[in-house]
Structure 1
């Protein structure tokens, strides 16, 4: 990625106090200083409705236009998310569905890295697997290694939301390095 490149982060949890939101904040702090990092939210994006989906004319709902415009500025993406019912959380999938539509989709052909935190042992594994067909359809370049799963997150974040597990921090740094390298291809 060139100097002054940009990575956009998305969090699949909208819950205050979410370990995944904490993880995304940590990820942002680990991005090299010559690369801009921005977190984009989707909490005001309506449920997908093809009758309202007019990306080429910019007549889609204002929150969708704002989301797509923010995603369009990215050279790469980091998605940090919990797993809901063995899959991608509905709100996150809905945002991806809105952003994926049209010839001008801001997601197409871009590198993406997945990460997740869970209070259990395996809580984001199936979410990460569920994203693979989505990335295939969008011709995205998923950075698969190393896999980032912060298990038993309640024991790895302090009261201020700092990740205290050095092994996890090292794995996240490697994932970020691999994502940046994928931008140079």
Structure 2
């Protein structure tokens, strides 16, 4: 039984990044797909010192550790990953153990801009590297003009992006 964890760097209910991880999950075909909840307080060392790791953060760290593979999709905000995603990564880095170590991770992005989140992906790779995951490179999934490439049900409609996503999911699954 395989478990895939999806992490969307956007909180909006109709986020195309959330739609993208759901499309990825359908192509991956895991027995179980779990969507992460990133609604955490902002990282604050004083909170950590007085209250410890928030339960929601520990849940995410446990989900990462227990998943067979992880897909992450981030919008590009001001040429980088979303603050929500960065905050989650900062918090998880404070948990015990090393949930990311050796974990197969595929990254993707959906943005309104024409680059499709290329800089966000570069930023995300740089942020993840110290945690030691196995990042699947190549087959970049960069959905630019995201509002044009999903139908009313949240299905990715652009053939080029669909092919890249299918290839990325095959490569991620091959790591298992």
Aligned counterpart, 1:8: 5
Q: Map residues 1-185 of structure 1 onto 2, 5 A cutoff.
A: 4-33=1-30, 35-43=31-39, 45-53=40-48, 59-183=52-176
- Shift of the alpha carbon at 1:115? 0.5
> Distance between the aligned counterparts of 2:48 and 2:67, measured in 1?
21
Cα deviations by residue, 1:49-71 (Å, 9 ceiling, x for unpaired): 234447xxx94222222222222
TM-score between both structures, scaled by the size of structure 2 = 0.89
In the alignment, is the contact (CA less than 8 A) between 1:157 and 1:163 conserved in 2?
yes
Runs of 5+ unmatched residues, structure 2: none
> Distance between the aligned counterparts of 1:168 and 1:126, measured in 2?
17
Runs of 5+ unmatched residues, structure 1: none
Moved over 4 A (4+): none
Aligned-CA RMSD value: 1.9
In the alignment, is the contact (CA less than 8 A) between 2:28 and 2:173 conserved in 1?
no
- Number of matched pairs: 175
Structure 1 stretch displaced more, 161-170 or 72-81: 161-170
> Distance between the aligned counterparts of 1:132 and 1:65, measured in 2?
22
In the alignment, is the contact (CA less than 8 A) between 2:116 and 2:143 conserved in 1?
no
Structure 1 stretch displaced more, 5-14 or 97-106: 97-106
